[in-house]
Amino acid sequence: MKAFWCILLLCQLGFAQQAEERQIDSILSLLPSYAMDDTLKVNALLNISRLGLKTRSLKGQPYANQALSISKKIGWTEGEARANFLIGNGY
């Protein structure tokens, strides 16, 4: 019976990771449409970073760094805080 539950759990984890990777791909496809550096772009980068940290630890770091840079440039302190949080979680 334990083996059944272990197999079921592993299957669920695999499906969850695939769903998160699809979300990352979807947001990445929208990223070029954000021409201006604004809060929408920062939020998209933060979402990619958050999902990337869940699935592929180091893949989320560059997006968090980019979000931090843009947040500082536009003076959005909430974006800076969220980006720093994700950067810290990546280590």
The residue type of 68 is L
Helix (H, G, I), strand (E, B) or coil at 37: coil
The answer to whether 63 and 46 are in contact (CB under 8 A) is yes
pLDDT per residue over 71-91, tens digit each? 999 999 999 999 999 998 877
Average pLDDT over residues 19-46: 83
Measured CA to CA, the distance from residue 39 to residue 63 in angstroms comes to 14
Dist. CA 19–CA 58, nearest whole Å: 19
Measured torsion, CA atoms of residues 9, 12, 16, 19, in degrees rounded to the nearest 10: 170
Q: Is the pTM higher than 0.85?
A: no
